[in-house]
Amino acid sequence: MINITFPDGKTEQFESPVDGSAVASSISEGFARNCVAMEVNSALVDMSAQIREDAKIRFITTGDSEGLDVLRHTAAHVMAQAVLRLYPDAQPTIGPVVADGFYYDFDMEPVSEEDFAKIEAEMKKIVKEKLPIVREEVSKERALEFYRDQPYKRELIEELEDGTISFYTQGGFTDLCRGPHLPHTGFVRAFKLLRVSGAYWRGDSNRPQLQRIYGTAFFDKKELKKYLDFLEEARKRDHRKLGAALDLFSFHDEAPGMAFFHPRGMDLWNALLDYWRKEHRAAGYVETKTPIILHRSLWEQSGHWENYRENMYTVLIDETESAIKPMNCPGGMLLFKRRRHSYRDLPIRAAEIGLVHRHELSGVLSGLFRVRAFHQDDAHIFMTPDMIESEILGILQLVRRMYSTFGLGFHLELSTRPEKSIGTDEQWENATGGLTGALEAYGADYLINEGDGAFYGPKIDIHIKDAIGRTWQCGTIQLDMSLPERFDLSYVGKDNEKHRPVMIHRVVYGSIERFLGILVEHFAGRFPLWLAPVQAVILPINDSLVPFAEEINARFFNAGLRTCVDDRTESLNKKVREAQLDKVPLILTVGEKERSAGTLAVRTLDGAVRHGVAIDTFINAVCDNVAARSLGMENLMSL
């Protein structure tokens, strides 16, 4: 007899050996049907695994996140089986679970999305067949023999220890796999193939390119639909589509990966930077600006020529080689060095909206998210070592204040010393200690990415979460122990001796282009008033009311607001429709009633109209809303 302990602490006795299904059935048959795997002494295994001695067991059901991973892994196998039925010459390689689904890589003829219907139909058959999924432990020798004609699988097996190798078989399909898997294929009811792509074997561009087929799966068709709806919502918010529709920016073949900003896009840009400058001045920053073309010698001194050359654009001027800056720091170094500094000057917080160019691979360019030219809201902070903690804390507080203005949540990740790095143990301890000290003082939870820091110092990355739950890394705080050395930076201490300052690079928006794109998607183009390129459009009901509309427009203009009059001789319906499509937050109609009463009819994007709003009161309220950089328009709704 063996004792099995459940998560609630209860213990049951069973005849040894017993498998998971039998144990689950002893609780209830209904429960057992929802069990997809189990955790035995903290190892995830199949329901069919035999238990031979006392153990702690936790069942994984269709409701657990581990269960979803198991399902998706099995879905990958079902897809592989379907692909092999349809393309007998395809060689399966690997098929892992990823964040929102799964993929499987095959060495096979190219497939396209048009083939999905066929593959999905075959998958449905396999699901309907409810094939039992059977695990088998095999020797390395047998595994290699089984895959004698499949070099990819053989390569994987070669790297495994004998005695730890397992196969999973469902119907006629057997795959090398660690597992665990669902008891049978019938669980894979709600799935969808999403896209195909080329992917290099083991991510190495020198090795063969495989066909990667992505899909996703859920236990429940409703969950699948929810996910597909989310993809659709993201598609609707696509900043490239909205950017064109709202006339914010465009791209042209003559400058791939470099955005052209339109007047409305610049209104948005300037609103973002006005706010940025206000916060940075308040936080004790000074603003600087450095050239974008600098001599090769500077890049050699900074180390970029050696380490970042392939991403840099170069240019020959008067027979001197120069590079267009991919980063602002070397220029910032020159500014720091232009005179001697006392410890009394520190910290120096030198910000720069720096235009940088980076030669990204043509295939990775994507709207404003991945470009070849962009502006960083950079800053270099020079300080004494004992200021690290308070300076980092200051940045974290600045970041929190600024992101919350946009209604963006965020989380922090600390990256520590990588294997290849410069600097002494003591320097790293001091630097990393400063960062963790600041994080503790800041008081929020953070993740640690061990060994993920830059070679020149540890960093904190700030990941924001947008309105539909996607995360983006924007802000970063990087401590740099390399550049102060390379540029021999110093300040004079209390002791009248030269000392090496500590330097950090940091950004809040990151790339202003990219941040703007994220905001377009976050707000779905419906910007809060303070950001909206056109804050209000005034619609005269007929031509005779145009002068009155112009008069009101002038009052908005004098109050510092961005408004315009739609004086075309079009129907009111059409003007309203177009203003709605332009996502202008306030649509103000004026007719005879408004002229005689000195009021406005205020329509908001939800379609609601409030009549008889007094003009002066309204303008004041709009100004208040903009000055407060409110996310909503509550103060206007109560007028």
Partner RNA sequence: GCCAGCGUAGCUCAGUUGGCAGAGCUACUGAUUUGUAAUCAGUUGGCCGGGGGUUCGAGUCCCUCCGCUGGCUCCA
Q: Which of positions 577-616 make contact with RNA (CB under 7 A)?
A: 577, 580-581, 587, 589-594, 601, 603, 605, 607, 609, 611
Which of positions 330-359 make contact with RNA (CB under 7 A)? none
429 binds RNA (CB under 7 A): no
Indicate the residue type of 50.
Q
What count of Cα atoms within 13 Å lies in the side-chain half-sphere of residue 445? 1
> Quick one: which of 407, 398, 405, 406 has its CA closest to 379?
398
Using DSSP bridges, classify how beta strands 190-200 and 471-480 pair: parallel, antiparallel or unpaired: unpaired
**Could you say whether residue 176 binds RNA (CB under 7 A)?**
yes
359-418 positions binding RNA, by CB under 7 A: 361-367
Annotated catalytic, 397? Answer: no
Catalytic pick among 35, 177, 329, 474: 329
Among 39, 46, 175, 480, binds RNA (CB under 7 A): 175
Residues 111-130 interacting with RNA (rule: CB under 7 A)? 112
Stretch that binds RNA, among 192-200, 314-322, 461-469, 550-558 (CB under 7 A): 192-200
Cis upstream peptide for 96 (omega within 30°): no
Sites for RNA among residues 236-275 (CB under 7 A): 240, 244, 251, 253, 256-257
Say which residue the tokens 């069990």 belong to: 35
Residue (399 or 541) nearer to RNA, CB = 541
User: Could you confirm whether 376 is annotated as catalytic?
Assistant: yes
Closest to 478 measured CA to CA, from 379, 331, 577: 379
Rounded to whole angstroms, how far apart are CA atoms 212 and 91?
Answer: 12
- Where in 502-561 is the site for RNA (CB under 7 A)? 541-544
Using CA atoms, how far apart are residues 557 and 560, in angstroms rounded to an integer? Answer: 5
Q: Mark whether 380 is an active-site residue.
A: yes
* Binding range to RNA, per CB under 7 A, among 170-178, 399-407, 547-555, 622-630: 170-178
Binding residue for RNA (CB under 7 A) from 17, 63, 198, 451? 198
d(CA 146, CA 20): 29
CB of 251 to RNA, least distance (A): 6
Size of the site for RNA (CB under 7 A): 72
623 is catalytic: no
Q: Which of 282, 571, 598, 624 binds RNA (CB under 7 A)?
A: 571
* 212 counts as binding RNA under rule CB under 7 A: yes
Active-site residue flag, 473: no
195 binds RNA (CB under 7 A): yes
Neighbours of 111 (CB within 10 A): 20
DSSP 442-504: HT--EEEETT-SBTTB-EEEEEEE-TTS-EEEEEEEEEESSHHHHTT--EE-TTS-EEPPEEE
If one asks whether residue 95 binds RNA (CB under 7 A), the answer comes out as yes
Position among 30, 148, 149, 164 found at the interface with RNA (CB under 7 A): 164
End-to-end CA distance of the chain: 76
Residue 68 makes CB contacts below 8 A (sequence gap 6+) with 218, 219
- Considering the rule CB under 7 A, would residue 88 count as an interface residue with RNA? no
Catalytic residue status for 309: no
Map tokens 């979460």 to a residue: 465
Amino acid at 570: E
Alpha carbon distance 491, 452 (integer Å): 30
Query: Between residues 404 and 471, which has the closer beta carbon with respect to RNA?
Result: 471
**Catalytic residue set:** 329, 358, 376, 378, 380, 459, 505
